[in-house]
Amino acid sequence: MRVLGVDPGLTRCGLGVIDAPAARTLTLIDVSVATSSADADAPDRLLAIADAIDAAILKHRPDAVAVERVFAQHNVRTVMGTGQVSGLVMVAARRAGLPVVLYTPSEVKAAVTGSGRADKAQVAYMVAKLLGLDEPPKPADAADALAIAITHALKGGGRTAASGASATPAQQRWVEAERAARRRN
């Protein structure tokens, strides 16, 4: 299973792609951070991020997209930008026929480190260890995107976006067949 993990942000949007072909086997495919200038108009900033998301989906052909769920912060502007980018990710994934799953920050921390209260340094350290890297990816947005992808892989990746329920074996085979057909085209 190939997973695109997205740490949504309007200034910096982390994009991490991993392969998880077997339980607990994780391989880094790509990691990047899409950026937009804080001086640009919001529509232009969103377009820049949307183009990067579309390019990542086209280039890496993930089987699923995992996104960090927007949570309330004190800075309303940051929450708005993050929410807008999350919407872009979900639309891009759906247009590509991909399932989308949202994870809370505490779910990601717990899956990667074992503690839902881990700090960013602990998450980055474990991302490096789980992917066999010499050092944590930088900037933090890159490590966070990979942590989100890892979370999806470790949780089995079989949840459906609509209900959050586990897919049956028949549903999973159907999804895998559709993905294989998409990759051939």
pTM for this model (two decimals): 0.84
Q: Which of 19, 63, 68, 144 is catalytic?
A: 68
Q: Are 166 and 55 in contact (CB under 8 A)?
A: no
Q: Say whether 178 is catalytic.
A: no
1/175 Cα distance (integer angstroms): 11
44 a known binding residue?
Answer: no
pLDDT at 170: 52
Q: Say whether 7 is catalytic.
A: yes
7 a known binding residue?
Answer: yes
Going through 61-138 in order, the beta strands assigned E by DSSP cover: 64-68, 100-103
| Ordered domains of the chain (ranges, CATH) | 2-184 (3.30.420.10)
Q: Which residues of 160-183 are buried (b: 16+ CB within 10 A; e: fewer)?
A: eeeeeeebeeeeeeebeeebeeee
Q: DSSP string covering 37-62, please?
A: -TTS-HHHHHHHHHHHHHHHHHHH--
Task: Give the closest residue to 28 by CA, choosing from 60, 71, 69, 73.
Answer: 60
Q: Say whether 39 is catalytic.
A: no
What is the full per-residue pLDDT of the chain (185 aa) written as tens digits? 999 999 999 999 999 999 998 767 899 999 999 999 999 999 999 999 999 999 999 999 999 999 999 876 667 778 899 999 999 999 999 999 999 999 999 999 999 999 999 999 999 999 999 999 999 999 999 999 999 999 999 997 754 433 334 444 554 565 566 566 666 66
CA atoms within 13 A on the CB side of 14: 23
- Helices and strands in the chain, H and E counts: 6, 5
68 a known binding residue?
Answer: yes
